[in-house]
Copies of this chain bind each other. A is one copy, B any other.
Amino acid sequence: MLLGKGLLGIEDLERSEIELILETAQRMTEIGTRDVKKVPTLRGRTLINLFFEPSTRTQTSFEIAGKRLAADVVNFSASSSSLSKKESILDTAKTLDAMDPDCVVIRHKVAGVPKRIADVLNAPVINAGDGAHEHPTQALLDMLTVFQQKDRLDGLTVAIIGDIAHSRVARSNIYGFSKMGAEVRVAGPPTMLPPAIEVLGVKAYTSLREVLDGADVVMALRIQNERLEGACFPSVREYAATFGIDRAKLRYAKDDAIVMHPGPVNRGVELSHDLADHRPSVILDQVRNGVALRMALLYLVVGRPQTLRAQE
């Protein structure tokens, strides 16, 4: 599935594929601890980062992942392109594809664009986040981080808190953790919970106390302040009081619960300052695992299995 195909969403993956990605990523984490953090696995392969939406973490993470595998990484940000000449997104993508990249990583603010592009490209496409649809590499790095802390995913209880309706991170994690046998719950203000969310197999709560009860993993999502100031919710202060996590509220969860956040954190809103920076939050582990996870995915999508083995 992955090799030569890319990855558009967690929804498309089998459990065995998720396991393969996580196992490969776990082996990749070791490379980041070396002095020479580079393997020749993807030497001579070209990775294009095609970001129509700016991003700190994700683009840099893919760039570093590609370079650690010795690939050539070409960043293509939409603003500096002939898109200002109103070239269509598909034409831009097909033009880049004609330069024979081995993989194209795409972020776009409209759900479904990576799929539309993947349908017409020769190169495999990895979705780096599309609208409110999916952000599969974020969910995979989240699963890797939980696995490192808990030694399993099966049977865990994962509580996702925030703007579930507009979050690609939430959707991908719901698919991923559910496939791996975890129980996923979501909570947020009523206006941020999609009406039919239970179709995805999750239970929805409007009380923080209830959603956290018995949770092994507490995942806070980033709130778009713009949205809070609109119709969705009365105020940032009220959101923080009701759904913001601090050490006191964390006691509703299991004693050994971990706290996650895809970043960047609005300190004092989704998480207290204290929790944003200290255990049991694992936010920087998530970032670090992001590089290893993307190395694994690039390797599985672009590389040939024998190549890695030869390097070991």
Q: Which residues of A contact B (CB under 8 A)?
A: 32-38, 43-46, 48, 54-57, 60-61, 63-64, 67-68, 72, 74, 76-77, 79-88, 91-92, 94-101, 225, 263-265, 267, 284-285, 287-288, 290-291, 304
Contact = CB atoms under 8 A, between A and B. Distances in A.
A54 B285 CA distance: 30
Given A291-B99, A291-B100, A56 B38 contact: no
Contact of A287 (B43, B46, B61, B95): B95
A74 B60 contact: yes
B46 A37 contact: yes
Number of copies: 3
Contacts of A91: 263-265
B99 A288 contact: yes
A130 to B, nearest CB: 17
Given A37-B44, A45-B36, A67-B46, A95 B54 contact: no
A55 B81 CA distance: 5
B95 A82 contact: no
B54 A44 contact: no
A306 B288 CA distance: 29
A95 B44 contact: no
A56 B82 contact: yes
23 contacts: A35-B44, A36-B45, A37-B100, A38-B44, A38-B72, A46-B67, A46-B68, A48-B60, A55-B81, A56-B95, A57-B82, A67-B72, A79-B80, A82-B264, A87-B263, A87-B264, A88-B264, A95-B263, A95-B284, A95-B287, A98-B284, A98-B285, A100-B288
B43 A36 contact: yes
Contact of A77 (B67, B80, B96, B101): B80
Nearest to A48: B60
B67 A99 contact: no
Given A81-B54, A84-B54, A99-B287, A34 B44 contact: yes
A46 B61 CA distance: 12
Nearest to A287: B98
A96 B60 contact: yes
B72 A64 contact: yes
Contact of A264 (B33, B85, B101, B287): B85
Given A55-B81, A56-B92, A85-B264, 10 more contacts: A32-B100, A38-B44, A54-B84, A56-B95, A60-B96, A64-B101, A79-B80, A94-B284, A98-B284, A98-B288
A35 B3 CA distance: 14
A46 B74 contact: no
